[in-house]
């Protein structure tokens, strides 16, 4: 069984209120090293059998057409999962 990982992040110029909230909370818990946080999504798509080039191409198309909103998000990675 193969698995494709798709990572989607808010575009840099888009406000990210979830990330902002995390960035604000980290120093209150003693994590002062971090100057910024962005929060995005990670999808794991399972396929029967191996992750072929066709599967990756389909995952790439699904990532841009369905798993992300191209107006506000970037697909930053589509890759077979290395276990």
Site for its own copies in 24-63 (CB under 8 A): 25-26, 29, 31, 33-48, 54-55, 58-59, 61-62
Tokens read off for 11? 């575009």
> Nearer Cβ to its own copies, position 61 or 70?
61
Could you tell me how far CA 21 lies from the centroid of its own chain? Answer: 18
Asked whether the beta carbons of 80 and 32 are under 8 A apart, the reply is no
Asked whether the beta carbons of 81 and 19 are under 8 A apart, the reply is no
> Nearer Cβ to its own copies, position 40 or 71?
40
Interacting residues with its own copies (CB under 8 A): 4, 7-9, 19, 22, 25-26, 29, 31, 33-48, 54-55, 58-59, 61-62, 65-67
């Amino acid at each position: 069984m193969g698995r494709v990982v798709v990572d989607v992040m808010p575009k840099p110029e888009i406000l990210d209120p979830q990330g902002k909230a995390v960035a604000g909370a980290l120093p209150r818990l003693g994590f002062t090293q971090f100057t910024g946080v962005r929060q995005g999504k990670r999808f794991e798509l399972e396929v029967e059998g191996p992750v072929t080039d066709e599967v990756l191409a389909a995952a790439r198309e699904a990532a841009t057409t369905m798993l992300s909103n191209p107006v506000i998000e970037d697909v930053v990675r589509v890759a077979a999962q290395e276990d």
